[in-house]
Structure 1
Amino acid sequence: MICKIKSRVDFSGIVNYANDIKAKSARVIGSNGVLLVSNRTIADSFEAQLRIPDSGGRVHHLSKPVKHISIAFSPKDTGRFPDNEEGDRFMEQIAREWMQEMGIDPDNTQYIIARHFDKDHPHCHLVFNRIANDGSVISDKFERRRNEEACKRIKKWHGLTFGKSNSREINLDRLHRYDAVRLEIRDIVLSAIDRAGTWKEFDDLLRANGITLHLCADKNTGRIRGLA
């Protein structure tokens, strides 16, 4: 099981992709808070929720309110996801478990889960709204690290195949040099995160491996917004 996360600006295009019946043989196997009459009504439902205020009366304007998660399973687990209602329910269950493990309440979140049949391995696409049903914002801080841990836990619970997603198991000779370096940096950073207890220790570990850490500040407010 591997989950890839993407942030998007517009709901319409990704809904059309996720629920592409003609090209992907897609079918919606789970949803919450959207009108499933057509792709247009699904997208409109998502868009309408962006205008819902939170408990303090504030309407949040996010530059990328759309989250698209592609959830792929090993071909070895194909038998766990038969092309029937039982297989659909198990895949939906895992997608909802992933949301919960990421700190997202499925019952307070607009989403659709669409299963595709255009590849040999079982897979589905989860699209959800970062504006929750109560108007609050669903955080995406440190989502990639949290995603890795969530996938590990879910695979362990259900006895799903652990694929060779670790970059140390990838044949770097087959990658372009840029991709190989990027994977090497990723390994170093993840290792430093696990070992460091403070920001200084994290910075020192990166520098020891030739990686420089920069704080990214907002030009107008001077507030720290992230790391590079």
Structure 2
Amino acid sequence: MIGKVKVNQSFGAMCRYVLQEQAPGKGAEVLAAHGVRTDSAEHMAADFDAVRAMRPGLGKAVLHVALAFPVEEKEKLTNEVMGRIAQDYLKGLNIDPENTQWAVVRHQDKTHPHMHLVVNRVDLDGQTVSDQFIRSRSVDVCKGIEQAYGLIVADQVGRKQAREIGPTPAQVKATTPKEEQSADWSRARQEIGRALSYTAGQARSFDELREALRPRGIELELTRRKNGSPAGVVFAQDGHRVKGSQVGREYSAGNLETGFAKARELGQDPAQQWQQVGQDYALAKLAAEYAQAKQRQAQQQPSQQQSRGFEMGD
């Protein structure tokens, strides 16, 4: 089980993607949801944004996790099982499924089983759901779920795939120790760049980035000037050392620090008065929307309405 974690800004774009309304052939199936309507991307995004309004200063409120499994597990992973796994995953991240808006949608566009989990980083009490070290925490949660459900271990699959992929063309062509060293270093640089593309944009400090990279077998070494500002950053994997600027200009120490500062700024809580305004608006909007939905349900299914009440997520 592999969880690819991203933190984004737009619920509208994310809901359109997971529900695949413009590409019905991908077979999007809503497995479970809480606190949001699932009849359309527009309604789902509106419900997410209504609660998000309680934290108007939170720039990236969309937590998106793609949970993927080996193709060998396809028979075992029914929709019901995958829905339970999604909720166990939330609990593993210390996210309360009963006090947080979320939806999990299964896609059928690939041979291996996979689903997309969308979570509001503002819970129903108006508190921010932390994304600190979330990538490294996700790795631990996935390992726990693999054990609990008796699933194939992702690390084993990764090692198998690495053996199947084999050496790069440059490594095959290398005939001297110097050429081999150069080819190995280039491969390490590519892998470090791939890891940074998933992690650097979400970190708020070098410490957070270091923790996010460690599960991928990458170490971060930082040097500072006398005034405390970052002077240089080096990433190390399998004995190969790569400067951040060698991976890409955006990964130099200075540019990374600039990105961290912006992430910290977006994560700051707004003034109390704006919190209250947002909370009042969000709760009023949710109440009105769910009252309308309940009324429509009563009109369409009067007999069923007598036997059970309206449930969030219906």
Q: TM-score range by the shorter chain?
A: 0.7 to 0.9
Partners of 1:115 and 1:217 in 2: how far apart?
37
Identity %: 27
The residue that corresponds to 1:12 in the other structure is 12
Q: Is the 8 A contact 2:234 2:243 kept in 1?
A: no
Alpha carbons 2:136, 2:215 under 8 Å: kept: no
Matches within 5 A, 1:47-126: 47-52=49-54, 59-81=55-77, 87-126=78-117
The alignment partner of 1:160 has SS state of coil
String of CA shifts for 1:170-212, please: whole Å, max 9, x gaps. Answer: 64634898664253686x95279999xxx99xx9996x96467
Assess if the C-alpha contact under 8 Å between 1:167 and 1:183 holds in 2: no
Amino acid of the residue matched to residue 134 of structure 1? D
| SS of aligned partner of 1:115 | strand
CA contact (8 A) 2:12 2:42 kept: yes
Check if 1:165 corresponds to 2:158. yes
Counterpart in the other structure of 2:41: 39
Q: Deviations over 1:73-95 (max 9, x none)?
A: 111111112xxxxx211101101
- Per the alignment, in what secondary structure is the counterpart of residue 3 of structure 1? strand
Q: Say whether the 8 Å CA contact 2:101–2:124 is kept in structure 1.
A: yes
Contact kept, 8 Å, 1:192 with 1:205, in 2: the verdict is no
Task: Supply the distance in 1 between the matched residues of 2:15 and 2:100 (Cα, whole angstroms).
Answer: 16
Q: Look up the match of 2:312.
A: none
The one-letter code of the counterpart of 1:190 is R
Which residue among 176, 191, 199 is the counterpart of 1:183? 191
Q: Any residues of structure 2 matched to 1:146-225 within 5 Å, and which?
A: 146-163=137-154, 164-165=157-158, 169=162, 171=165, 173-174=167-168, 180-183=188-191, 190=214, 210=241
- Secondary structure of 1:18's counterpart equals helix
Q: Report the alpha carbon displacement of residue 116 of structure 1 after superposing the two structures with TM.
A: 1.1
C-alpha deviation, 1:168, in angstroms: 9.6
Residue in 1 that maps onto 2:29 = 27
Measure how far apart 1:61 and its partner are: 1.5
Distance in 1 (CA, whole Å) between partners of 2:127 and 2:26 is 33
> Is contact 2:192–2:235 with CA below 8 Å preserved after alignment?
no
Change (3 A) 1:75 1:191: closer
1:68 match: secondary structure: strand
Partner of 2:125: 134
Structure 2 unmatched runs, 5+: 171-182, 196-209, 224-232, 245-252, 266-314
Shift of the 131–78 alpha-carbon distance from structure 1 to 2, 3 Å rule, reads same
TM-score (norm 1): 0.74
Are the counterparts in 2 of residues 102 and 147 from structure 1 also a CA contact under 8 Å? Answer: yes
Q: CA distance change for structure 1 residues 179 and 142 in 2, over 3 Å: closer, same or farther?
A: farther
Rounded to whole Å, the distance in 2 between the matches of 1:20 and 1:191 is 32
**RMSD, matched Cα:** 3.8
Structure 1's 205 and 33: CA in aligned 2 closer, same or farther, altered over 3 A? Answer: closer
TM-score, reference length from structure 2: 0.56
Structure 1 residues 6 and 167: alpha-carbon distance in aligned structure 2, compared to 1, 3 A threshold: farther
> Distance between the aligned counterparts of 2:56 and 2:29, measured in 1?
31
